[in-house]
Structure 1
Amino acid sequence: MPIATAIREDPTEYIRHDQLFKELIDTFFAECLEVFFPEVHHHIDFSSIKPLSSEVFTDMIEGESRHADIVIEARLKGQNTLIIIHVEPQSSGQPHFHERMYHYFSLLYNKYRRPIVPIAVFSYDENRYERDQFTIEFPFFHVLTFNFLMLELRKMNWREYLQSNNPVAAALLSKMNFTEKERIKVRKEFLRMLMNMELNQAKTYWLNGFFETYLKLDEGEEETVMEEIKRTEDDEKLSMLPNFWEERGKMNEKREIAREMLKEGPSVEFIAKVTRLDKEKIENMKKEI
């Protein structure tokens, strides 16, 4: 008797991690393909790419909603052929993920009737075996084998991407395979890559925020990183790097001022005006005092 398998995602984990990866890949889509899937990148006409609406499909058996995270329409170079590129970030291990990729593929194909390039990006920390195909077969007949491309970050050597000067590779150093002793080195190389890429401030801050979500050093370690960078980089390059540490210190100082003011009795509105902190954050501080 056939067994219906329900595939569920933890919505909290999806928001915290899968959504971060979705934003990274959405923002730097071409760069992501270039560094991790160069064969795909080589054949895509990036002047033709068109993000399609976030796809939400209903499981007719369980009545649950499933999201296909990144769905891009593109044209192959030198051809009129339109294809769909589906990228699915996955932040937690699931035994039937390969089956879910096939579900997404079939549903997208039914809707668009175009060739689809399916890609899975695995970002969880544990080392585990992932299947890159889904098969339906019987002892007497092979029905189908569905294959998809995949990126397993935890199995990747971070040192292999240091010369790429690619923003996605730089951000994802934080999820690759490094030891505890290499944390400072990884952070230093990430900042060096940021300096060499010469991105605008908004993208630089965004990439740093992504990186620090997964690899965050304490103040002493950050000071070590900065001292090492100052010894190896010239002042002109250093000026391209926003002073994350100075601004973080200013924010910590503002929080301390707000806490002291709360003890003295001023209103939350007044403290927010003086410190320029969010009212909600000050309200939370007030509850803690």
Structure 2
Amino acid sequence: MAKVWRRDGQETWVLVHVEIQAGYEAEFAERMFVYYYRLFDRYRLPLASLAVLADEQPQWRPNRYTRHLWECEVALSFPVVKLLDYEPRLAELETAANPFALATAAHLLAQATRHDAHQRFISKLSLTRRLYQRGWDRQ
């Protein structure tokens, strides 16, 4: 739940549902819809859903769920962030101050070094040093 200000200056409360999916799931869009309507049914507040896809399949980008029978239809469209899309910007992510950029870099490096334990260790060590250099502590 977040308090936001509309363009007219009025404050309002909204629910933000972020779903992080690490692998392909055939029914993912349906699950997004189910979570959306459960949140809406319970809280009756404005609601936005976002999918963060951390899988390794470049073409898999579910962003819509529809269901219809006769003249009745229900649909949910939601934005998708595909972490693989940030791979060309890995160097930029590794040096960014934004913690989400560093988390994305860590994920991409983990995928890239999945079969190379030594390189994975070097990547982890490098990212950890960057965190300490920026003043982050162990916690």
Same-fold call, TM cutoff 0.5: yes
Question: 2:81 matched to which residue of 1?
Answer: 151
1:168 offset after TM fit, Å? 3.0
Q: State the identity %.
A: 23
Structure 2: gaps of 5 or more residues: none
Q: Out of 102, 116, 130, which is 1:193 matched to? A: 130
- Aligned-residue Cα RMSD (Å) equals 3.0
1:116 offset after TM fit, Å? 0.8
2:47 pairs with 1:116: yes
Structure 1 CA distance for aligned equivalents of residues 103 and 76 of structure 2: 30
Q: Which runs of 4+ in 1 moved over 6 A?
A: none
1:81 offset after TM fit, Å? 1.4
Structure 1: gaps of 5 or more residues: 1-72, 203-289
* Larger RCO (CA within 8 A; separation ≥ 6): 2
Question: 1:65 matched to which residue of 2?
Answer: none
For 1:35-184, what aligned pairs fall within 5 Å after superposition?
73-77=1-5, 78-137=9-68, 143-157=73-87, 158-176=90-108, 179-180=112-113, 183=120
Structure 1 CA distance for aligned equivalents of residues 34 and 76 of structure 2: 10
1:109 and 1:116 in contact (8 A); partners too: yes
1:162 and 1:189 in contact (8 A); partners too: no
More helix by share: 1
Q: Do the aligned partners of residues 125 and 101 (structure 1) sit closer, same or farther apart at CA in structure 2, a change above 3 Å counting?
A: same
1:131 offset after TM fit, Å? 1.0
Larger-gyration structure (1/2): 1
**Aligned pairs, number:** 129
In structure 1, what residue type is equivalent to 2:102?
A
More strand by share: 2
Structure 2 CA distance for aligned equivalents of residues 142 and 156 of structure 1: 39
Structure 2 CA distance for aligned equivalents of residues 80 and 116 of structure 1: 15
2:21 and 2:54 in contact (8 A); partners too: yes
Q: Do the aligned partners of residues 148 and 94 (structure 1) sit closer, same or farther apart at CA in structure 2, a change above 3 Å counting?
A: same
